[in-house]
């Protein structure tokens, strides 16, 4: 019985650990960065951008974040995984606030 309980607990822990994403992201200085949208999550309005210097930025877009393509305002739905983007971010403590996302292709 003890063995079964131990196996159950260990299995549960392993399952929970494997389901959670634990990405190592970077916090950069306020500025504009170009990169690739490695992940796009419409549900959370979140994107992960890999910059040209190999930093991974985790960005939660808000209603104030301006999204554009070719100089025209567009919606979040226009962001595509592996698409090239240029992001303007503001560093606030240990997080990045995305001010603008320009879709390059």
Chain segment 15-30, per-residue pLDDT in tens: 444 444 567 999 999 9
- Does residue 11 surpass a pLDDT of 70? no
Domain architecture of the chain: domains with CATH: 23-103 (2.40.50.320)
**80 alpha carbon, distance to own chain's centre:** 12
Confidence (pLDDT) at 25: 94
Exposure string of 76-105, with b = 16+ CB inside 10 Å and e = fewer, is eeebeeebebebbbeeeeeebbbbebbbee
pTM, rounded to two decimals:
0.77
Nearest to residue 96, comparing CAs of 52, 71, 62?
A: 62
Confidence of residue 1 (pLDDT cuts 50, 70, 90): low
Percent of the chain with pLDDT over 90: 77
For residue 103, is pLDDT > 90? yes
**Residues ≥6 apart with Cβ < 8 Å to 102:** 67, 68, 69, 85, 86, 87, 88
């Amino acid at each position: 019985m003890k063995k079964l309980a131990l196996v159950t607990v260990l299995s549960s822990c392993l399952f929970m650990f494997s389901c959670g994403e634990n990405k190592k992201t970077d916090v950069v200085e306020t500025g504009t960065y170009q990169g690739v949208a490695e992940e796009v999550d419409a549900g959370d309005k979140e994107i992960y951008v890999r910059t040209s210097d190999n930093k991974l930025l985790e960005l939660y877009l808000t209603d104030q974040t301006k999204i554009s393509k070719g100089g025209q305002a567009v919606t979040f739905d226009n962001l595509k995984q592996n698409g090239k983007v240029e992001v303007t971010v503001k560093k606030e403590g240990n997080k990045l606030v995305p001010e603008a996302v320009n879709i390059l292709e």
